[in-house]
Structure 1
Amino acid sequence: MTRRGLFAPLLGLAAAACSPLSLLNAVGPRDRGTGRVARDLPYGDDPRQKMDVYAPAQATNLPVLVFFYGGGWDSGDRTVYGWAAQALAARGFVVFVPDYRLVPQVHFPAFIQDAAAATARAGELATTYGGDPARLGVLGHSAGAHLAMMITLDRRYMAAVDQPDLIKAAAGLAGPYDFLPFDVAASRNAFGRAPDPTLTQPVTFARADAPPLWLGHGTDDVVVHDEDTIILRDRMIAVGGRCEAKLYPGLNHADLIATFSPLFRKKAPVLDDVTTFLHRELG
């Protein structure tokens, strides 16, 4: 396998995406009729192992999403993404947004284990906030898309939290799925200690019996190239799995998730496309 995804020199997924996106939380308009219904829910003992929940008013028996933000596996904060969670909630989902432990506090596979633990806890709590745990999907942007695909495709992570069949569908936005060798700081720091580097790559675990996947990528992304999305889609199809992919002309790394905001929603139908897929697969 060769490196196909992370662009060098890598400014850091946080620098490329998260800082501008944080402005949307401060100044951007929000979707009405939704809001944060719980905060600081623990799914582990570490201060980073907490999550918030967003839902429409009077949510009842809705499909559930766990949303993982990006940040190069070394930065990020769930409070920055309230606008994105509200956009998803406005489309009829109960949305859990967890933090997870970051480099250098931890290294692979700890942040993936956190993603699995948060997803399992979301399933346990879903009915409390009007969600149906039998209709649970995961969604991530950038490094968060890597987390979402790893816990969906590598059976070991959800099996370790006694929920091997909890995830019914998964979606990734601008995700790194095939980025060997580790030749930039972000990947070296997060994954460089892995005894078998291939076990850090979502493409390694493509399988016919995986939950259905949806992948989106901007063609102007120079942080994570759109080639990663094409590779994972083709690998899934080759083994008999279900995977859809859509490339968005002219969109860069941050654009893809920024289109969830009402400010930029007319730029591309990313929110429509991913939520249509998730409603179809989650029912």
Structure 2
Amino acid sequence: MQFVALASGLLFASSLTLTFADAAWAASREGTQTARAAPARTLAKQTISYGRDKLQTLDFHAAKNVRGPAPLVMFVHGGGWSKGSKDNATGKDKAPHYTGEGYNFATINYRLVPNARVEQQAQDVADALKALLDRAGQLGIDKSRVVLLGHSAGAHLVALVGTDPRYLRAAGLTEQDIAGVIPIDGAAYNVPEQMKSARGPWLGNMFTKAFGTDPARQRELSPTFHTARPNAPAFLILHVQRTDGISQSNALADALRKAGTEVTVKSFPGKGLKGHMTINRSLGDPDYAATKAVDDWLTRIFR
């Protein structure tokens, strides 16, 4: 396997982009947050570079109505490993919801296929987390309470980082720097199996561009094959009603349980591409069922 990692000693430049749109979100929740202390942070959003490539950036949204360090939820977008960005694939509800719940929220960009390999994308996830944890004091992050959240290709990447320790170690971190991982409707946890079941030339070509034709490399990029310890301490695996998403989610969960890792699987309505997109776009909407499932899990993990 060709394993590409960014040097953990890389000096990260950062640029700050401030917006005060979050103030409206905080105001809308003021009545439900009276039991909490007044907010300690005034910057609504910061854009931080965690590497030299233009895509190695993230947006950080500070927790609302809390004083002192708050937990961090870091989101990794999907897009078939070759498309998407934090700006068009995060969904409109996540940042206001999670910051309103008293959590810091970050959403990252990462380098895309074919200009980068999937190994580099997983390293980008780990390096983005390292950049945030290195700034924990100034950003108000509780380093002991961090969860990775990812959708589709992003679900695969957070699951890979949470099961294969090489990416975190290359960034100067370990699995103990993550309290949990939430993969959302991924279906490439077992890459060889996914590629066998891919229907139509479009899907087949997408997977081939991402994972190549070497079975050994495909296995190395499969979270299911890395579930022997060490893993992130806990997983919440979400899926809608897609055949491959169901089978791959359950197989990953079985492998994690066999290794003694805590795992919960939650199933939600929705079929095909529409269901696959809905669970991402709607997460954070208080009326959407998956939002409560994630909220309850985060409350327990962050307790």
> TM-score, normalising length from structure 1?
0.81
CA positional deviation for 1:209: 4.5
What is aligned with 1:101?
111
The match for 1:73 among 78, 81, 84 is 81
Per-residue CA shift, 1:69-110, capped at 9, x if unaligned? 111100111122253222222222101111000011111211
Q: Contact 1:33/1:56 (CA < 8 Å) preserved in 2?
A: no
Aligned to 2:45, the other structure's residue is in SS state: strand
Q: Which amino acid aligns with 2:58?
A: M
What is aligned with 2:95?
85
Aligned to 2:236, the other structure's residue is in SS state: strand
Q: How does 1:95-244 map to 2 (within 5 A)?
A: 95-164=105-174, 165-176=176-187, 177-181=189-193, 182=195, 184-192=204-212, 196-210=217-231, 211-219=233-241, 221=242, 225-244=245-264
Q: Which amino acid aligns with 1:215?
A: I
Per-residue CA shift, 1:187-218, capped at 9, x if unaligned? 11011066532011110111354211010111
Output the CA distance in 2 between the equivalents of 1:126 and 1:187. Answer: 36
The ranges of structure 1 where at least 4 consecutive aligned residues each deviate by more than 4 angstroms after the TM superposition are none
Q: What is the RMSD of the two structures over their aligned residues, measured on CA atoms?
A: 2.4
Which structure's CA Rg is the greater one? 2
Q: Which amino acid aligns with 2:255?
A: R
Q: Contact 1:31/1:86 (CA < 8 Å) preserved in 2?
A: no
Output the CA distance in 2 between the equivalents of 1:209 and 1:116. Answer: 16
Which one is further off, 246-255 or 97-106? 246-255
Q: Which amino acid aligns with 1:207?
A: A
Q: Which amino acid aligns with 1:70?
A: G
CA positional deviation for 1:36: 7.5
Go from structure 1 to structure 2 and tell me whether the alpha carbon gap of 1:133 and 1:216 turns closer, same or farther (over 3 Å shift): same
What is aligned with 2:278?
255
Go from structure 1 to structure 2 and tell me whether the alpha carbon gap of 1:105 and 1:193 turns closer, same or farther (over 3 Å shift): farther
Output the CA distance in 2 between the equivalents of 1:86 and 1:77. Answer: 18
Per-residue CA shift, 1:101-156, capped at 9, x if unaligned? 00111112111111110011111123322221121111111111111111111011
Q: Which amino acid aligns with 1:180?
A: P
Per-residue CA shift, 1:248-274, capped at 9, x if unaligned? 134520121222253xx43x4211111
Go from structure 1 to structure 2 and tell me whether the alpha carbon gap of 1:269 and 1:57 turns closer, same or farther (over 3 Å shift): same
- Give the % identical residues: 24
1:32 aligns with 2:54: no
Output the CA distance in 2 between the equivalents of 1:240 and 1:31. Answer: 43
Go from structure 1 to structure 2 and tell me whether the alpha carbon gap of 1:151 and 1:51 turns closer, same or farther (over 3 Å shift): same
What is aligned with 1:52?
59
Output the CA distance in 2 between the equivalents of 1:226 and 1:62. Answer: 33
Q: Contact 2:191/2:218 (CA < 8 Å) preserved in 1?
A: no
> TM-score, normalising length from structure 2?
0.76
Alignment gaps of 5+ in structure 1: 1-29
Q: Contact 1:64/1:95 (CA < 8 Å) preserved in 2?
A: yes
What is aligned with 1:62?
70
Output the CA distance in 2 between the equivalents of 1:93 and 1:261. Answer: 13
Q: Which amino acid aligns with 2:105?
A: V
Output the CA distance in 1 between the equivalents of 2:24 and 2:280. Answer: 15
Q: Which amino acid aligns with 1:178?
A: N
How many corresponding residue pairs? 250
Higher relative contact order (CA 8 A, sep 6+): 1
Go from structure 1 to structure 2 and tell me whether the alpha carbon gap of 1:45 and 1:246 turns closer, same or farther (over 3 Å shift): same
CA positional deviation for 1:186: 1.5
Q: Which amino acid aligns with 2:282?
A: T
Q: Which amino acid aligns with 2:278?
A: D
